[in-house]
Amino acid sequence: MTTTTTMTAVNPTASRRRRGGGQDAVGRGPREGVIPRTAAFIVMGVFTLYFLTPIWWLLIASTKDRGDLFSTNPLWFADFRFFENVGALVAYRDGVYLRWLLNSLLYAGVGAVVATLLASMCGYALAKYRFPGRETLFNVVLGGVLVPATALALPLFLLFSQVQLTNTFWAVFLPSIVSPFGVYLSRVFAEASVPDELLEASRLDGAGEVRTFFTVSIRLMFPALVTVFLFQFVSIWNNFFLPLIMLRSEELFPVTYGLYAWNSTINQFPELRTFVLVGSLLSIVPLIITFLLLQRYWRTGLGTGALK
């Protein structure tokens, strides 16, 4: 009994499989009736439409030229012009769209990697070492979680303008490498998944603390690190206020801000409409790919923060 509980707590998917597949194994309770099952299916079906229809519409809209966009069935294909549209988008204004996409990948990709590394080291130290001021530090960082990112944007702008850093790559990149929530998650997860005995063993083998972290602990914390990375990646990718307030030069824009800028001039330049639609579709793809590639790891870590 106790052993199974511990096991399932460590590996939720194992318990899932037992419960999901083996309803008979779990209990002789009442079988689920047809009516609740149908009702559940209808609810989920209706909401599947709600969640996927807008994306389906976007996909369809990006395959059409300007005329067809308004004259043909909005939820089904007409003349398939997707590749022409992408070609035109990429060629527009010397490929400024690709530049934006690359900027976003740099801001969010590199920024999230650095943020994850810094946050995990700090969270690990908070979990595995005792030192004076540890709880104070942790509480200050927790307070940081509650500070709205947008409340930071304006003072950051004022400070950066004093050191002539506004309207540079660094203005958006540097603030993105701080993840207080990442420290919190890393601490919780390091406490749960890095056993002290292992650290002792590593010390007896003569490995230094830093080396132990990078060779042993970091592997045990991997699901949490993926979660921290994803949270940070998404929040940088979606960050709007910071680029809005920091950036003036088009060539520094992240893709979301670039598309926003195009969208707000659509009334003057109607030809931008197709570009906004195709560009929006393409800009979602990197995030979806990241999610799909990493979902195996990150779902384990996601509940960690909530459990404590």
Partner 1 sequence: MTTSPPIAGVAGAAAAPDAPVQKRKRPRVQNPWAIVAFVSPFALVFTLFYVIPIGYAVWQSLLVVEREGTFGEAREVFGGFAQYALVFQNAEFWSSVGRVFLFGIVQVPVMLGLALLFALLLDSPLLRGKKFFRLAFFVPYAVPGVIAAIMWGFLYSPNLSPFEAVTSQVDFLSSDLVLWSIANVVTWVFVGYNMLIIYSTLLAIPGDIYEAARLDGAGQARIAWSIKIPLIRPALVLTGVLSIIGTLQLLAEPQTFRSFSSAVTSTYTPNMTIYATSSIPNVSLAAAFSVVLALATFVLSFTFLRITRRKAATS
Kindly identify the residues of this chain, within the stretch 209-228, that bind partner 1 according to CB under 8 A: 209-210, 213
Give the interface segment with partner 1, choosing from 12-20, 78-86, 87-95 (CB under 8 A): 12-20
Of the pair 58, 96, the CB lying nearest partner 1 is at 58
Query: Any idea what DSSP says for residue 303?
Result: T
Q: How far is the CB of 252 from partner 1 (least distance, A)?
A: 16
Smallest distance, partner 1 to C-beta of residue 242, A: 11
Asked whether 255 and 104 are in contact (CB, 8 A), the reply is: yes
- Rule CB under 8 A: which of 139-198 touch partner 1? 140-141, 143-144, 146-152, 154-159, 174-175, 177-178, 180, 183, 196
Binding to partner 1 in span 265-294, by CB under 8 A = 266-267, 276-277, 280, 283-284, 287-288, 291
Which tokens hold the place of 283? 């800009």
Angle subtended at Cα 267 by Cα 266 and Cα 268, rounded to the nearest 5 degrees: 90
DSSP class per residue in 109-143: IIHHHHHHHHHHHHHHHHHH---TTHHHHHHHHHH
If one asks whether residue 232 binds partner 1 (CB under 8 A), the answer comes out as no
**Closest approach of partner 1 to the CB of residue 41, in Å:** 7
Q: Choose the binding region for partner 1 from 82-90, 95-103, 115-123 (rule: CB under 8 A).
A: 115-123
Q: How far is the CB of 180 from partner 1 (least distance, A)?
A: 7
Contact window for partner 1 (CB under 8 A) among 80-88, 92-100, 203-211: 203-211
**CA 147, chain centre distance (Å):** 19
What is the Cα–Cα distance from 221 to 215, expressed in whole angstroms? 11
Minimum CB separation from partner 1 for residue 47, in Å?
A: 7
CB burial string 40-68: b at 16+ within 10 A, e below? eeeeeeeeeeeeeeeeeeebbbbbbeeeb
Q: Which of 79, 80, 264, 296 binds partner 1 (CB under 8 A)?
A: 264
CA nearest neighbour of 150 among 229, 235, 251: 235
Tell the smallest beta-carbon distance from residue 274 to partner 1 (Å).
12
Residues 6+ apart with CB under 8 A from 72: 64, 78
Question: How many C-alpha atoms does 134 have within 13 Å on its Cβ side?
Answer: 12
Using left for φ > 0, alpha for ψ between -120 and 50, and beta otherwise, residue 106 falls in alpha
Task: Write out the binding residues for partner 1, residues 49-88 only, by CB under 8 A.
Answer: 50-52, 54-55, 57-58, 61, 69-70, 74-75
Smallest CA-to-CA distance from 152 within 83, 215, 246 is with 246
Considering only residues 16 to 55 of the shown chain, the ones binding partner 1 according to CB under 8 A are: 16, 18-20, 23, 26-30, 32, 36-37, 40-41, 43-44, 47-48, 50-52, 54-55
**In the block, residue with structure tokens 């701080």:** 178
Q: How far is the CB of 308 from partner 1 (least distance, A)?
A: 7
> Considering the complex, what minimum distance in angstroms separates the CB of residue 15 from partner 1?
5
